[in-house]
């Protein structure tokens, strides 16, 4: 039996909306309040790095990697700035979030799964009822990223930092290896060659 390479698996899943089995669970009032505050923060996205040189280097490198998927340079850079900002403010690695988006939606901001998960990070609409508002557009790039990063941070917290389990929860496949391994593989593809680190804003 032939082995299937990770690259081939990534290629198969990258163009399709992958999420949708995420479980709706009751949130404590304190967690719900904290997540709602995170969602409601209207701060404008910006690159968060220790120096401007690091910010410029990161943006240039990631932009080059996404050229084929997002040919329009303005939209590509706008997306990357939003990803870096929302990931960093949630205490997440921006390259992890890029890898997750790669698997979840293939960078299709209009992706909708068969069960209604929406946008880049395939956010389920029930989260609007739990921590946001019904008039928030989950197909909007910034809104979707804010929800997605806030949700992944929540899953990391309840799993005590166990990313494998947190990713399983995010996809609704807790305990199975397929989805976390796909995200890990895509994450490696977006590894940054720079030496500086983004500054987490939590």
pLDDT digits (tens, 9 = 90+) for 48-66: 999 999 999 999 999 999 9
Q: Structure pTM?
A: 0.85
Backbone angles phi, psi at 150, to 5 degrees: -65, -40
Rounded mean pLDDT, 171-192: 93
**For 151-172, how does the pLDDT look when each residue is reduced to its tens digit (9 = 90+)?**
999 999 999 999 999 999 999 9
- pLDDT tier, 20 (very low <50, low <70, confident <90, very high otherwise): low
Spatial CA neighbour of 182 closest among 63, 65, 12, 23? 12
**What is the overall mean pLDDT for the chain?**
87
CB-count burial class (<10 Å; 0-12, 13-18, 19+) for 139: middle
Using the predicted structure, report yes or no on whether residue 72 has a pLDDT greater than 60: yes
180 Cβ partners below 8 Å, 6+ apart?
Answer: 163, 164, 167, 168
Rounded mean pLDDT, 190-198: 70
Long-range contacts, 163-167 (Cβ 8 Å, 24+): 163/96, 167/100
**For 76-126, how does the pLDDT look when each residue is reduced to its tens digit (9 = 90+)?**
999 999 999 999 999 999 999 999 999 999 999 999 999 899 999 999 999
Estimate the share of the chain in helix, then strand, then coil, as percent rounded to the nearest 5: 55, 0, 45
d(CA 143, CA 150): 11
């Amino acid at each position: 039996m032939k082995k299937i390479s990770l690259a081939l698996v990534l290629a198969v899943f990258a163009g399709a909306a992958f999420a949708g089995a995420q479980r709706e669970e009751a949130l404590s009032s304190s967690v719900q309040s904290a997540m709602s505050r995170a969602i409601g923060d209207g701060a404008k996205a910006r690159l968060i790095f220790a120096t401007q040189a690091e910010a410029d280097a990161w943006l240039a490198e990631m932009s080059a990697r996404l050229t084929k998927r997002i040919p329009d340079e303005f939209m590509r850079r706008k997306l990357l700035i939003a990803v870096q900002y929302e990931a960093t403010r949630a205490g997440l690695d921006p390259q992890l979030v890029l890898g997750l988006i790669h698997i979840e939606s293939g960078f299709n901001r209009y992706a909708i799964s068969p069960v209604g998960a929406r946008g880049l990070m395939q956010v389920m609409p029930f989260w609007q009822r739990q921590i946001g508002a019904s008039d928030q557009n989950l197909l909007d790039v910034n809104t979707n990223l804010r929800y997605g990063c806030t949700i992944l941070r929540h899953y990391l917290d309840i799993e005590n930092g166990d990313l494998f389990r947190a990713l399983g929860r995010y996809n609704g496949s807790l305990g199975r290896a397929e989805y976390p391994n796909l995200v890990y593989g895509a994450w490696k593809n977006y590894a940054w060659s720079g030496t500086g680190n983004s500054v987490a804003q939590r």
